[in-house]
Amino acid sequence: MNGSTPVGTLRIPVPQSFFLVAVLVGSVSQLWPQRAEADGPITTGLVQQLLVDAVPLPPKSPTELRANGGFSPIPVLSVPKSVIFRPNLTYARYPKTAVKLDLFLPKDSGKELRPGLILIHGGAWRAGSKADYRYYGGQFAERGYVTVSINYRLVPEHPFPACLQDCKTAVRWMKAQAKDFRIDPEKIAVFGGSAGGHLALMVGYTDTPEFEGTGGHPEQNSRVAAVVDLYGPTDMTVPEIQRFDFVAEMFNQFLGATIAERPELYRLASPITHVSDQCPPTLVIHGTADSMVPITQSDALVEKLKDQGIPYVYDRIPDWPHAMDFTQPINDRVLWMMERFLANALKTSEIARQ
């Protein structure tokens, strides 16, 4: 393992890729209705005590906020002084590739085991990096989580399921390091947004040998105790998800085929296909004005979770678009929701079976 020093001055910029996404979303959103039918501020699921406080009202819409002075992106922050930062650790090895992660450790001297959190960036499975979620890494390590933000192999060089295999390898890596970093292997959660949300769901909902890969630590399993999904695609088989040509091409590149050519592969790569009564508790956060991943994707997932009796919390935020959590008002809400959801969902892994 690499040596470590507390890093209190590393500056974490908002990833430049986000601003490109924001411009794209702003343009595309003009082509699609800004509100879904029957908007609702929040739906809590079968275990309502997962959120122990009164849920705050969602932020005003971007239009309303702009009319009243606007809003800011999440700030450029330093890694908190209470956090030890270890960048660029290898967690998966292949003949020609070593896949890296950044590790954020709470700087405490206790002996108690700590929960783990794995951050999976977005970027249409073909872009983005672990640096995109360093903000969350520092935030949650400061809250006591051993947190990692991971790279994964990208398309088109590495088509599905390579990226999923890497994410599952990251879970096994964290369990293999449990003793060194005082991680409770039964209290590991995964979090992701957009393509990362899709991968987080697939990590939590699948137990398929072909998805495990050969990146390392086969003695460990890749099961997790909770999933957090921000606006991730859940069903790649429905026409609405490919209503724009560039989105259809994105899926074609991800899966290496069109849906007409490989419908069974599109089903296999859809998290909704894998929902069962064995899935872990799930937090879903999605804006109704999302023009890249329609809100109906999360609506359908939540209905299936409900049918299977899976504890879930669904925050359905009116009038906000894709990548909304890179703005301050939504990011504040995401942190509020995640902190409470994870604190309860990770009390015991048995919650997934109640």
Q: Catalytic residue numbers?
A: 194, 290, 322
Q: At what angle do helices 162-176 and 195-205 cross, to 10 degrees?
A: 60
CA distance 139 to 121: 16
In the three-class reduction of DSSP (H, G, I as helix; E, B as strand; rest coil), residue 277 is classed as coil
The answer to whether 314 and 228 are in contact (CB under 8 A) is no
- Compute how many other C-beta atoms are within 10 angstroms of the C-beta atom of residue 343: 15
Bridge partners (DSSP) of residue 77 are: 12
Going by their DSSP bridges, the two strands 282-287 and 226-230 should be labelled as parallel
Beta strands in 274-337 (DSSP E): 282-287, 312-317
Position of tokens 């009038």? 319
The answer to whether 329 and 70 are in contact (CB under 8 A) is no
Going by their DSSP bridges, the two strands 77-78 and 11-12 should be labelled as antiparallel
The answer to whether 187 and 242 are in contact (CB under 8 A) is no
Position of tokens 């998966």? 92
CA distance 70 to 86: 36
Instruction: Provide CB contacts within 8 A for 41, sequence distance 6+.
Output: 57, 58, 316, 317, 318
262 burial type by CB count under 10 A (0-12 exposed, 13-18 middle, 19+ buried): middle
The answer to whether 120 and 200 are in contact (CB under 8 A) is yes
CA distance 291 to 322: 7
State the DSSP string of 49-93.
GGS-SPPPPPPPPHHHHHHTT---BPPPEEPPTTEEEEEEEEEEE
